[in-house]
Structure 1
């Protein structure tokens, strides 16, 4: 029965959901076995509505019948619930605080409306140019934090990487819609994205960039933007 009380670990999500991809990457890094339940967002399941009665949205992680909502919180929960493999947050309190800060920065600045491809596509002329420059400034700040490190946490793939890496699939759409080169604007981030894609957890989870672009192109036509 689809909406029976779940046991073990269950993730309510949609495969193409950028934020749910964070949770799947974290679970894969930890080697946690789980059941994936695809949601129909036009006809949300009773289990989703029961598990997230406040926002009624995905992703939702259910662990032994207890729901956890919102992707940053879910990733932290996964790290704490399975602490013995591939820690995502550093042990040092200050380093943990910094990781949380930058993950929050990603949520506030890289996610909509700043880097939402449909937003960039809807703008024209000076407005689009201003939005593009603002977004490139955000990328530069992230590059400053990354520096010459392999990952944001150093040699270990961690919390900030998990927060940001699903947006790598959107890089092609960002630059195509807004008319700039990600390679030129943020070469360190592009190289970081390629390193992340070498990880099985990431490669098997992220959406295909061309499919993302085609999705946005259909959205542009639906809202009357050429």
Structure 2
């Protein structure tokens, strides 16, 4: 098979690419990378010395493609599915890229800062940094509430790149810092993402690893038993 995706089922940026692959129905070989295994880690660094997942290897084009957003765009260009991940209209395309970056920089990033802090020893906790990250999420949620009001998807009329970014970002962030009862447009949007078969499949595949998520105690029961059907 031409395409090989190096990823981990609990990594949210990997979820973003998997959603795009499942949306398009693109065949690929998944390779689980265990960074805690020295041999596995060394082999992955040979492929991409930066050491960040996901990474796509395309044997047919002799290409190694890192970074989730770039992988989704690469797949859209060379292995397109029935529905493009990026709009054909140039202005909408810029909008899609903007909101993709928004979810990565203003939802994923603060969420991950809070998650990584949970792993630190008690005397090395960054309480100020965590409080700042929580505030950043609240600001992002407020902006998304405005953005999503009256919209089905984040950009345009169809599911696309920005929604691939939104699904895993909101899934994990919402457990750590809830959206709030007054953000109904954001909550409804998240439910539409959760109903998407591609995202449900990703979450179903990740379920055996959920117990390793440091905020597993906050995970709603429905996520622990979610079916990929």
Could you state the TM-score of these two structures normalised by the residue count of structure 2? 0.77
Question: Structure 1 14/34 Cα, relative in aligned 2: closer, same or farther at 3 Å?
Answer: same
**Partner-residue secondary structure (3-state), 1:58:** coil
Say how many residue pairs are matched.
204
Deviation at 1:51, TM superposition (A): 2.3
* Contact map agreement 2:106 2:136 (CA 8 A) in 1: no
Q: Which moved more, 1:105-114 or 1:67-76?
A: 105-114
Q: Flag structure 2 segments of 5+ consecutive residues without an equivalent.
A: 119-124, 217-229
Question: Structure 1 119/148 Cα, relative in aligned 2: closer, same or farther at 3 Å?
Answer: farther
* Aligned residues: CA RMSD: 2.8
Corresponding residue number in structure 2 for 1:40: 34
Deviation at 1:147, TM superposition (A): 2.6
For the pair 1:192 / 2:189, whether they are aligned, the reply is yes
Deviation at 1:91, TM superposition (A): 0.4
* Contact map agreement 1:117 1:216 (CA 8 A) in 2: no
For the pair 1:157 / 2:159, whether they are aligned, the reply is yes
**Residues of 1 paired with 2:144 and 2:150: CA distance?**
12
Corresponding residue number in structure 1 for 2:134: 132
Question: Structure 1 114/22 Cα, relative in aligned 2: closer, same or farther at 3 Å?
Answer: closer
Deviation at 1:81, TM superposition (A): 1.3
**Partner-residue secondary structure (3-state), 1:67:** strand
* Contact map agreement 1:87 1:158 (CA 8 A) in 2: yes
Question: Structure 1 185/63 Cα, relative in aligned 2: closer, same or farther at 3 Å?
Answer: farther
* Contact map agreement 1:11 1:37 (CA 8 A) in 2: yes
For the pair 1:79 / 2:76, whether they are aligned, the reply is yes
* Residue 90 of structure 1, aligned match among 87, 92, 107: 87
**Residues of 1 paired with 2:132 and 2:48: CA distance?**
37
* Residue 18 of structure 2, aligned match among 16, 24, 31: 24
**Residues of 2 paired with 1:18 and 1:127: CA distance?**
21
Corresponding residue number in structure 2 for 1:50: 46
Deviation at 1:60, TM superposition (A): 0.5
**Partner-residue secondary structure (3-state), 1:136:** helix
Question: Structure 1 217/162 Cα, relative in aligned 2: closer, same or farther at 3 Å?
Answer: closer
Could you state the TM-score of these two structures normalised by the residue count of structure 1? 0.78
Corresponding residue number in structure 2 for 1:9: 3
Deviation at 1:86, TM superposition (A): 1.3
Q: Flag structure 1 segments of 5+ consecutive residues without an equivalent.
A: 1-6, 176-180, 219-226
**Partner-residue secondary structure (3-state), 2:214:** helix
